[in-house]
């Protein structure tokens, strides 16, 4: 049984640190932690890879990822590739996939 959710939010203008494009996302699992989780976040600008973050955590409920970069006007999207190991007693014991945000137009 898969009890986790992996979400990538839409890239956006940072309102806390202006003049940057920010993207957040991550894994949330409940009501149990997972044994291992590996997430890779890519932020794309006009189709080209522009910023990156990854996070490998063990025995956690959540595994957040975030990437930011100086803002250039254009089209952005983000992907998270992930691999989760629930533990040997779970069937299936792992889950790997990719989630992708819609393409959003950002003006700086």
Q: Which of 27, 28, 22 is nearest to 40 (CA)?
A: 27
Q: Is 4 in the site for other proteins (CB under 8 A)?
A: no
| CA 48 – CA 77 distance, rounded (Å) | 10
Contact region with other proteins (CB under 8 A), list: 7-15, 80-88, 90-98: 7-15
In terms of CB distance, is 60 or 81 closer to other proteins?
60
| Cross-strand partners of 34 | 60
User: Of 24, 37, 42, 79, which one interacts with other proteins (CB under 8 A)?
Assistant: 24
**Shortest CB 64 distance to other proteins, Å:** 6
End-to-end CA distance of the chain: 43
Whether residue 30 contacts residue 3, with contact meaning beta carbons closer than 8 Å, is answered with yes
Stretch that binds other proteins, among 10-18, 83-91, 92-100 (CB under 8 A): 10-18
CA 1 to chain centre: 22
| Binding segment (CB under 8 A) for other proteins, from list 53-61, 83-91, 92-100 | 53-61
* Gap between the Cα atoms of 37 and 35, Å rounded: 7
The contact set with other proteins (CB under 8 A) reads 7, 9-18, 20, 22, 24, 28, 30-31, 33, 53, 60-62, 64-70, 102, 104, 106
């Amino acid at each position: 049984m898969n009890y986790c959710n992996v979400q990538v939010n839409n890239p956006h203008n940072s309102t806390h640190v202006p003049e940057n494009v920010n993207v957040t996302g991550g894994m949330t699992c409940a009501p149990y932690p997972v044994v291992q989780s590996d997430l890779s976040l890519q932020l794309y600008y006009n189709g080209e890879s522009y910023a990156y973050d990854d996070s490998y955590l063990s025995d956690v409920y959540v595994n957040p990822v975030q990437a930011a970069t100086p803002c250039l006007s254009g089209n952005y999207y983000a992907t998270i590739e992930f691999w989760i190991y629930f533990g040997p007693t779970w069937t299936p014991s792992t889950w790997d996939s990719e989630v992708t945000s819609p393409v959003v137009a950002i003006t700086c």
